[in-house]
Amino acid sequence: MNSSAAMALFCGLLLGAGLWLILVRMPLMRATPFAERIEPQLKSHNLESTLLQASGHNITPFGPLERILRPLVDDGLHYLAKFNFGTTALTKRLAQAGSAKTAVDFRAEQLLWAAIGFVLAILLSAFSATAGRFNLALSLISVLGATLGGFLFRDYALGVQIKRRERRMLAEFPSLAELMALAVGAGESAIGALGRVCRTANGELAKEFALVLADTRAGKPLIEALQDFSARTELGALVRFVDGMVVAVERGTPLAGVLRAQASDVRDTAKRELMESAGRKEIGMMVPLVFGVLPLTVVFAVYPGIAALNLGF
208: domain CATH number is 1.20.81
| Per-residue model confidence (pLDDT) at position 291 | 83
Tell me, yes or no, whether 110 lies in a domain: no
Contact 163, 235 (CB under 8 A): no
Mean pLDDT lowest among 51-55, 67-71, 248-252:
51-55
Domain that holds residue 202: 167-270
- Cα atoms in the Cβ-side hemisphere of radius 13 Å centred on 287: 4
Q: Is residue 195 part of a domain?
A: yes
Please indicate, yes or no, if residue 257 is contained in any of the structural domains: yes
pLDDT at 165 over 70: yes
- The count of domains in the chain is 1
Q: Report the pLDDT value the prediction gives residue 76, as an integer from 0 to 100.
A: 64
pLDDT at position 56 is 53
For residue 63, being part of any structural domain is answered with no
Domain contains 150: no
Q: Is residue 187 part of a domain?
A: yes
271-296 pLDDT, tens per residue?
888 888 888 888 878 888 888 888 88
- Compare 142 and 73 and report the one with higher pLDDT: 142
Q: Which pLDDT band, with edges at 50, 70 and 90, does 310 fall under? A: confident
Q: Is residue 248 part of a domain?
A: yes
Return the percentage of the chain with pLDDT > 90, whole number.
0
- The reply to whether 60 falls in a domain is no
